[in-house]
Structure formats: structure tokens, C-alpha cells
Amino acid sequence: MIIDNIDGVIARFIYGQDPPQRGSLDLIIDSFAASIILLTIFFVMMKTAIYFCAFLVFLYVIFLFLLYVQTSTVYRLRSEFSERLKDIVVNKEDEGHYKFLPSFLVNAYFKIDKFTAKHRTLVHPTACDSAFIIYVILPLLNFNFYTPLLIIAILFIILDIFQELVIILSYFRNL
């Protein structure tokens, strides 16, 4: 929390009042903070010989990095092509976006989407939910629960990556 609050102060100090670079600086500092925490978790698991969980943390970091790359891509597309993309509404049901995935995954996604829309909830868990599992729930439980919780956190990140891919594909189709 301290590092997350410091980035705004640093951005204003370096660039002046509320600069456009603040978002980039925020991402860099948040990534740095997450790296410290995840490395600590990784080394604790290695020291206690929970190698499979350490591997899952490693996978989590890889998927988190992929999510950061995609989020950065969406941000750049919106920044550089704001006039051409401002009226685009992402059509999630356009089948062209899902050609790179097996059909059973796409069908499962649409079933979840319909269920959540019916109950007026989010379409899927987000990276924030994943971070909550890693940073809050995981330390409260004993090692027996680490494997399923890490798998759930990884699945949440993968679902977020999937959403970002749909947005990126929608934008590239309309450029």
C-alpha cells in the first residue's frame, strides 16, 4: 500500500501536476511491488520444499506479465488511435475474436457470460481478485491450501488475458 501510494507523489515530483506519464509510472511501481512480494512467496515455498507451489507462483508471474503487456497494448491503442477507436464498442459475441481458442472454451465462456449477466455480476473474476487470493487469503491459510488457491489465481489471470485479447482483436479489426 505504501509503494502504491508513493507513485502519485513521485509522478507529480518528476513531471509536475498530474502528468500523462503517471499511468506508466504507476504500472512500473506496482509491478516492482508485486515482484518483491511474489519473489518472497516463491523463495519461502522453495525453502519449505513446496516445489509445485513455487512452480505455480512462477506461472502466475508469467501470466501476470502477459496481462501487463496486453493492458499496455490496449492503453497504447486507445492513446494513439483515440479518434478512430472512440466509438467502438467491443462486440464480445463476434465469433471472429475466438478463432484462436478451442470451441469448448468459447462455449463455456458464453455460458458463464449469460449466467453472470442474469445475476448482474461481473463476467469473470479479474486480476484484482487474483491478487486478493495471493496477497491476502494465501498467507492466512496453511500449506495444504496453497495449490488449489494458486491454480484459481492463475485461472483468474488467464480469464483476464482472454478479455484483453478480445479487446485488442476488436481494435485491430477496426483500425
pLDDT in tens, 86-139: 666 555 566 666 666 677 777 777 777 777 777 777 666 778 888 888 888 888
By residue count, the chain amounts to: 175
User: Which amino acid appears at position 52 of this protein?
Assistant: F
Cβ proximity of 75 and 23 under 8 Å? yes
Rounded to whole angstroms, the maximal C-alpha distance in the chain is: 53
What average pLDDT does the segment 143-171 reach? 83
What local confidence, expressed as pLDDT, does residue 29 receive?
72
What local confidence, expressed as pLDDT, does residue 34 receive?
80
14-21, long-range: CB within 8 Å, 24+ apart, which pairs?
Answer: none
Which H, E and C letters describe the chain, residue by residue?
CHHHHHHHHHHHHHHCCCCCCHHHHHHHHHHHHHHHHHHHHHHHHHHCCCHHHHHHHHHHHHHHHHHHHHHHHHHHHHHHCHHHHCCCCCCCCCHHHHCCCCHHHHHHHHHHHHHHHHCCCCCCCCHHHHHHHHHHHHHHCCHHHHHHHHHHHHHHHHHHHHHHHHHHHHHHHHC
What local confidence, expressed as pLDDT, does residue 7 receive?
64
What local confidence, expressed as pLDDT, does residue 17 receive?
63
Lowest mean pLDDT among 2-6, 80-84, 101-105, 168-172: 2-6
pLDDT tens-digit series, residues 15-64: 666 555 556 666 677 777 788 888 888 888 888 888 888 898 889 988 88
Ramachandran class of 102: left when φ > 0, alpha when ψ lies in -120 to 50, beta otherwise: beta
pTM of the model: 0.68
Pick the closest to residue 27 from 41, 8, 42, 13 (CA basis): 8
Q: What is the dihedral of CA 19, 36, 164, 83, to 10 degrees?
A: 10
